[in-house]
Structure 1
């Protein structure tokens, strides 16, 4: 990274010959769900650029922010295919666990915004919160029909005899 007049400027650290490795550098190796989504996105972009004999877009950042996937290119991309493919990847990530790719939605764990399935949300909450599940997830959320009554997870809920709980709480007997 270079510092010019106090403005943070990143050099392009994205290698189109090692797309998955580059994505893992940006997102981390633990976030396999989103690594798969972004890798597939950039493989499609690479094929598109190769067919058109154009240069690949320069990637500035790929990151998680407030439970959403963000992909920033160095400059505005005018190619409609690339814009749509990036948008599709970010939309798919909105409904996918960062770590495993299971269906999920954004969660708040001790003021930390993440997009995790119930299994990984429980794991992350246990790591971050000494009082979990006494202090629940998503504490500021209004009572949602899709909110676990045991831990506060918002998303997949077992409705039958389990008593309106997420699958992780059902499995733990909470």
Structure 2
């Protein structure tokens, strides 16, 4: 059987091929990955190394993934560092983020983008994240919306910055 899998990255148009996989989020994951593969291309051109073969770029269960074939340890390290950074960055805007449960789906969004996404689906709800009627995970969980990992330290009610701004 012939190998008919194409490279997910067109090294002549990196930005376009990344956005085909991840959507247009220049401040978020697609911007991060475009920068990665631009640096990989520069490295390969400088060292005379073959470009890596990228099978797939995607989000799965809220985590960023790059499936590739590459034997060069430096390129592997660059990819691994980008994956680790993405998994703690908002996929839309690049702010610090942790994976959240939103309507049964795992997404890595900051509190601002998370509120934006879920509020459009459920404008009547305040408890937006996690499982309804579950106890708060710890002191890093917003007491109003259930968002985990971003708490406004100036707020005595243990709310995320988005809930504080909305005056929830």
TM more than 0.5: yes
| Secondary structure, aligned partner of 1:106 | strand
Is 1:92 the counterpart of 2:85? The answer is: yes
* Alpha carbons of structure 1 residues 107 and 31: separation in structure 2 relative to 1, 3 Å: farther
Aligned length: 166
Residues in 2 aligned to 1:161 and 1:128: alpha-carbon distance in whole angstroms = 27
Cα distance per residue 1:97-153 (max 9 Å; x no partner)? 00000111111101110000101101111234465324x301268522110000000
Residues in 2 aligned to 1:141 and 1:85: alpha-carbon distance in whole angstroms = 39
* Alpha carbons of structure 1 residues 13 and 94: separation in structure 2 relative to 1, 3 Å: closer
Residues in 1 aligned to 2:6 and 2:44: alpha-carbon distance in whole angstroms = 21
Counterparts of residues 26-37 of structure 1 (less than 5 Å): 26-30=21-25, 32-37=27-32
Residues in 2 aligned to 1:160 and 1:24: alpha-carbon distance in whole angstroms = 38
Structure 2 unmatched runs, 5+: none
Give TM-score, length-normalised by structure 1. Answer: 0.86
Aligned to 1:145: 139
Aligned to 1:43: 38
Please provide the CA RMSD for this pair: 2.3
Counterparts of residues 57-72 of structure 1 (less than 5 Å): 57-72=52-67
More displaced 10-residue stretch of structure 1: 136-145 or 46-55 = 136-145
More displaced 10-residue stretch of structure 1: 25-34 or 77-86 = 25-34
* Alpha carbons of structure 1 residues 141 and 34: separation in structure 2 relative to 1, 3 Å: farther
Question: 1:110, 1:128 within 8 Å by CA — same for their partners in 2?
Answer: no
Which of 37, 43, 47 aligns to 1:52? It is 47
* Alpha carbons of structure 1 residues 32 and 167: separation in structure 2 relative to 1, 3 Å: same
Give TM-score, length-normalised by structure 2. Answer: 0.89
| Secondary structure, aligned partner of 1:99 | coil
More displaced 10-residue stretch of structure 1: 13-22 or 123-132 = 123-132
